[in-house]
Chains A and B, each alone.
Chain A
Amino acid sequence: MVKKRSDVYSVEIYGTKDLHKTEIEDEEEKHKDQKGNKKKKKAEDLKKELDLDDHRLSTSELEMKYGTSIDKGLSSARAAEILARDGPNALTPPKATPEIVKFLKQMIGGFSILLWIGAGFSWISFGIQLAQGVDSAFDNLYLGVVLALVVILTGIFAYYQEAKSTNIMASFSKMIPQQALVLRDAEKKELPADQLVVGDIVEIKGGDRIPADIRLIFTQGCKVDNSSLTGESEPQSRSCDFSHENPLETRNIAFYSTTCVEGTATGIVINTGDRTIIGRIASLASGVGNEKTPIAIEIEHFVYLVAGVAISIGVLFFIISVSMRYKILDSIIFLIGIIVANVPEGLLATVTVSLSLTAKRMAKKNCLVKNLEAVETLGSTSIICSDKTGTLTQNRMTVAHLWFDNQIYSADTSEDQTTQPFDQSSPSWTALSKIVTLCNRAEFRPGQENLPIMKRVVVGDASETALLKFSEVILGDVMSIRAQNRKVAEIPFNSTNKFQLSIHETDDPHDKRFLLVMKGAPERILERCSTIMINGKEEPLDSEKAEAFQTAYMELGGMGERVLGFCHLYLPEKEFPESFQFDTDSMNFPTSSLCFVGLLSMIDPPRSTVPDAVSKCRSAGIKVIMVTGDHPITAKAIAKSVGIISATSETVEDIAKRLNIPVERVNRREATAAVVNGMELKDMSSEQLDAILREHAEIVFARTSPQQKLIIVEGCQRQGAVVAVTGDGVNDSPALKKADIGIAMGIAGSDAAKNAADMVLLDDNFASIVTGVEEGRLIFDNLKKTIAYTLTKNIAELCPFLIYIIASIPMPIGTITILFIDLGTDIIPSVALAYEKAESDIMNRRPRNKRRDRLVNQQLAVYSYLQIGIMQSVGAFVTYFTVYAEQGFLPSTLLGVRVNWESNAINDFEDSYGQQWTHYQRMYLQWTGYTAFFVSITIQQVADLIIRKTRRNSIFRQGLFRNKVIWVGIFSQIGIALILTYGLGHVTALNFTPLRFQYWFVAVPFAILIWVYDEIRKLLIRRHPGSWWDKNMYY
């Protein structure tokens, strides 16, 4: 593991130096393994992977190395050979757990083991009783079968739920097969990209995804977007030159899964499939351990707790019953009963349903949850490490500010702008707008006239797109303006000139002059100007005006914006008549003494919903950390505008600047904010990183590589935080995996990122995470309620057994009946609690502490088991004794009767009145008792359901009728009870009998008592916060 990780860093952070180191390690490994040929080969493979030196080789050396020809490509036969050797050019999907293993896990997980034990005991006692010739032996067989069925059915259900949520994801990973243009047998062919092999000559053009790792041998204006690999959002130009030792930095290699933004290129495939850089990072992601989700830990804790109670009570009463001289066999049967009564059979299924309901709700809010348990994880998140581009921002350059007439104007940067509000009356603006419109090569793709301008697809780079949309919004149809001002010459932007220039005819038919328009880096543009336009008039550019320009330029640049300067010149008609031939190579026209018109600055603006979402996070006690590959100034500007760095906080550098002291002398503790550069991070020890994470509330990591994200995530986790990480790039995947909850971007995200993530953000919007957090917190609260509700009746199910054993009364409730409560009447109500609205603003409290705030805590257990549970038991026993008394058995008669009562041979059993009962008559009465007990529990569970709606507030504040599903639950509960009692009351095997109507109401006073008691509890909690009562009665 340690070694593996060093690979990632070596690739990204330490560059070639470490590559060599790893190489040496591998060399050693090779020597060690020399005996085993297979192993040796593997080691060599590994070495080859890391030893990427193709960028240093010349074209002919490459041809030799890969046995290919640049003109002809590989032969089909040779390609097939290599394909057979290397396998298809595709990433191996992460190894999925076999379905059967998943299924079996459901069968033995949670309480299933306990129930299997119960079933096993049932069958054992069936066997023994059968051998002894006991009539009722088959009851145990059936019980065992029922228990097994319960386990299998709940297992199938849980498996189905999980499979369903996995399927949603599966649909995601389906990709349209990619095509690649390959030279084979001296012919150009379109081939599916997975057929590519090492040595193939491929051609790529703007818009293509790079189909493999490619050493470029011919390029023309080629730029690639490496953001999925390195996080750099700027397209990188690519050429055939060997420009850097590090294969990742050199210009002549293009990497698999990155995209070619513009230009064309031809190259030799040097790595395919899992051997590509991306492939290695992706496979690394599967090496990063998948942490258990907080809710899984909570549920495990809960299962242990309940199982512990079940087993200890079971064993205790086994010992008691044996020492009370019950037969061992009987004691075993009691043990089964105790286990069944203690285990909330339906609960885990309920939890699954609740989670998937929330998952559905979240999907509607654009959070697609891959792993059901991640639903809650988001709720306990305490740190969100968020990407900037696309997540916090709109992921498109937009004009944010303008400077003309010595004044800065702000432009609207919102997502759905239709007009621009700034003052457009100045003639300088008219001139500026003309330059912006004309000096621009970007165009709308045709056929989008009905779309809003901001949504239209543009061919062109980011800043030109921004300018095009900007002018389209203000001026209307840009394309017709361009048509009226016909372009006669053009010099596109290049990095040496740092400007772009074009010459146009004017749209004024009387004006025969040509208009030269130019835009570029502001300082370069200014150099070429001698005048400046102020309110439409050209004025000489004196030092005062140059000073004003500098100030504006600094100001805009300081906001992290990309600034462009614009100037123009009307060429004198005499020198440049209509017929003049412009030559862009010799530049037979002036490119200096131009007239400076203005500045435009652009930024990728924050999404309008983000500042609100960030402040919500803040009040919810969640630290938002920005992790971006962008420039620190830009990152900081965006962080400030969305509130990740609040208006009043300062970084160390800010304080130093304000106090005019060196950075070293600033008290670091005074700075609440920090902007950490990736370069600094590289040299930091983990202690230093911890210190930064601890000391600063507001942190921005800029210029970080996606691999550094992993370090940051680990740092956060060392603080004990539950960390959510957003990512889209392939090599974000280790960080996504490592995070407690990895959030991949649905639109911008790569498949590898989506695979590694627990959640996919369909709209790439940070604000959606916040709604997810809210849902996650709500479900945690609601699961607490569900569990409290479910646990309560377990006592009412358990007490009958205990009293039966100790007092030898006729059995008050049967095992099968218990299962009907746990898996029948109680299911829908407990799911209904998942629909409960939050009691208070859950986004105003801190995230739960995963060590302290347990799902099931002592208070919950004590309150449910020992308070409400006992009340319920009393209520149910009252009904039980009432039924028996009214049929002739007064409570006093019932004590100690068990042996005779259950004896088959006694058919003249005397009741309190001297009447004599046959065995069957007694059994039938016993079943009536079961039914009465069952009905009482059901009735009291209605009250229990209502009180569980809130934990602190009064029910009346929460609203009795707001959650309609609760009422569905109540009606279903009573409905099922009615059906069981009156509909199936004649099926003896189920042990239900029709019940006199009045017995339904015996427990009602107890139900009311439960409600009143709980209201008083809540009242006291609200009245005396922090008191003993609050501490012990609030769960």
Chain B
Amino acid sequence: MLLTVSEFEPKYQDRVAPPGLTQVPQVQKTEIAFTASDPRSYEPYVRNLANFLRDYSDEQQTENIVFQDCGDTPTEYKERGPYNDAQGQKKVCKFKREWLENCSGLNDPTYGYKDGKPCILVKLNRIIGFKPQAPVNESLPPEIMAKYNPNLIPVHCVAKREEDADKIGTVEYYGMGGYPGFGLQYYPYYGKLLQPRYLQPLVAVQFTNLTYDMEVRVECRAYGQNIIYSDKDRFQGRFDIKFDIKSS
């Protein structure tokens, strides 16, 4: 039976789809706790972010055989033929690191942590062949509607508990062409073998005015018709993260 398994795509995906939503940095727990004035306290997060973003640097995306410029605004899915290597490896869309602006690490190597304005990166779990569908508009929070694009999977973060709503302050989103979400042209994913250097689209979320010295729980969601949330799996299509920033 093992011989019948294809090397390009798994036989079944019912256990892995719908996709999970995760964040970077990821150190031990889904929790970010640091003191802005103490670089050592946020060093692991910063390093984690830097490591993760290395593949997104411009110099990593130079080979034109591998990378393809998919534009600066969200567009349609990019189908790349059947899931086998008959045509060799598949191209992948470039993702420009500078789209992440303040959270790109290009200007601020501490990703806002030194100012107590931490960045996190949000990404949708890779699933071969999965094509997320943009949400139908009426169900969306009004903030997202402002930057609506039919080819965008928007991401939005709010306080986990309603009573914390005023504690998370302003939230900045940086993404492709200024859109707070994932462009559809990055999908579908063709797998490790066909797209070894695939770049997941990212959305950077910066919390610029978090309340200090208390635990603030934030929940981020990706919105899409086939992105579903589950009570049992708290990371399916959303995640929550705990911030605990000490003032001194």
Contact = CB atoms under 8 A, between A and B. Distances in A.
Interface of A: 878, 881-882, 885-888, 890-891, 904-908, 910-921, 924-925, 928, 988, 996, 1002
A1002 B1 contact: yes
A890 B198 contact: no
A905 B28 contact: yes
B22 to A, nearest CB: 4
Given A907-B22, A908-B22, A915-B10, A885 B5 contact: yes
B16 A915 contact: yes
Given A882-B2, A916-B125, A921 B20 contact: yes
Given A882-B1, A887-B16, A907-B20, 18 more contacts: A882-B2, A886-B12, A908-B125, A910-B126, A912-B192, A913-B9, A913-B191, A915-B16, A915-B128, A915-B189, A916-B16, A916-B127, A917-B15, A918-B125, A920-B235, A921-B20, A921-B233, A988-B232
A915 B125 contact: yes
A906 B2 contact: no
A804 B11 CA distance: 25
27 contacts: A881-B2, A882-B1, A886-B11, A886-B12, A887-B10, A888-B13, A888-B16, A905-B30, A907-B30, A908-B26, A911-B10, A912-B10, A912-B192, A913-B128, A913-B193, A914-B195, A915-B16, A915-B125, A915-B127, A916-B19, A916-B20, A916-B127, A917-B15, A917-B16, A917-B125, A919-B235, A921-B15
A916 B126 contact: yes
A917 B1 contact: no
B20 A905 contact: no
Across chains A and B, which 6 residue pairs bring their CB atoms closest together, nearest first? Answer: A914-B192, A918-B20, A920-B233, A916-B125, A888-B10, A918-B235
Residue from A882, A919, A920, A925 with most neighbouring chain B CB atoms (10 Å): A920
B147 interface: no
Contacts of A912: 10, 192
B236 interface: yes
A848 to B, nearest CB: 46
Contacts of B235: 907, 918-920
B80 interface: no
A928 B15 contact: yes
A505 B55 CA distance: 135
Contacts of B8: 913
Contacts of B193: 913-914
A891 B150 CA distance: 41
A870 to B, nearest CB: 20
Contacts of B189: 914-915
B161 interface: no
A599 B183 CA distance: 122
B207 interface: no
Contacts of A913: 8-10, 128, 191-193
Contacts of B233: 918-921
Residue from A881, A885, A910, A988 with most neighbouring chain B CB atoms (10 Å): A885
B123 interface: yes
Given A913-B10, A915-B128, A921-B16, A885 B123 contact: no
Contacts of A924: 15
A878 B1 CA distance: 9
A907 B15 contact: no
A159 B14 CA distance: 47
Interface in B223-245: 230, 232-236, 239
A891 B127 contact: no
A938 B1 CA distance: 20
Interface in B184-231: 189, 191-193, 195, 198, 230
Contact of B26 (A905, A910, A921): A905
A911 B127 CA distance: 10
Given A914-B198, A920-B236, A890 B5 contact: yes
A908 B202 CA distance: 14
A895 to B, nearest CB: 15
Nearest to A920: B233
Contacts of B5: 885-886, 890
A887 B6 CA distance: 11
A988 B127 CA distance: 25
Nearest to B190: A914
A906 B23 CA distance: 10
A906 to B, nearest CB: 7
Residue from A905, A910, A916 with most neighbouring chain B CB atoms (10 Å): A916
A21 to B, nearest CB: 85
Interface in B125-145: 125-128
A904 B1 CA distance: 31
A881 B5 CA distance: 12
Interface string B1-44: 11001001111111110011010001011100000000000000
A882 B8 CA distance: 16
B28 A885 contact: no
Contacts of A928: 15
A996 B13 CA distance: 13
A371 B15 CA distance: 54
Contact of A885 (B2, B125, B127): B2
A888 B234 CA distance: 22
A921 B20 CA distance: 9
Contacts of B236: 918, 920-921
A137 to B, nearest CB: 16
A887 B125 contact: no
B153 to A, nearest CB: 16
Contacts of A919: 233, 235
Nearest to B24: A908
Contacts of A996: 12
Contacts of A886: 1, 5, 10-12
B126 A915 contact: yes
Interface in B35-85: none
A881 B1 CA distance: 10
Contacts of B2: 881-882, 885, 890-891
B126 A905 contact: no
A915 B10 CA distance: 9
Interface in B80-113: none
A917 B9 contact: no
A935 to B, nearest CB: 14
Contacts of A921: 15-16, 20, 233, 236
A578 B45 CA distance: 139
Residue from B8, B127, B195 with most neighbouring chain A CB atoms (10 Å): B127
Nearest to A888: B10
A925 B233 CA distance: 13
Nearest to B236: A918
A907 B13 contact: no
Contact of A920 (B19, B126, B234): B234
Nearest to A903: B28
A307 to B, nearest CB: 38
B216 to A, nearest CB: 19
Nearest to B28: A905
A917 B20 contact: yes
A904 B193 CA distance: 28
A918 B13 CA distance: 13
Nearest to A1002: B1
Nearest to A882: B1
A906 B207 CA distance: 23
Contacts of A910: 126
Contacts of A885: 1-2, 5, 11
Contacts of A881: 2
B39 to A, nearest CB: 23
A920 B232 contact: yes
Contacts of B9: 913
A595 to B, nearest CB: 102
Residue from A885, A917, A921 with most neighbouring chain B CB atoms (10 Å): A921
B128 A914 contact: yes
A825 B14 CA distance: 28
A306 B195 CA distance: 53
B80 to A, nearest CB: 15
B45 to A, nearest CB: 13
A910 to B, nearest CB: 8
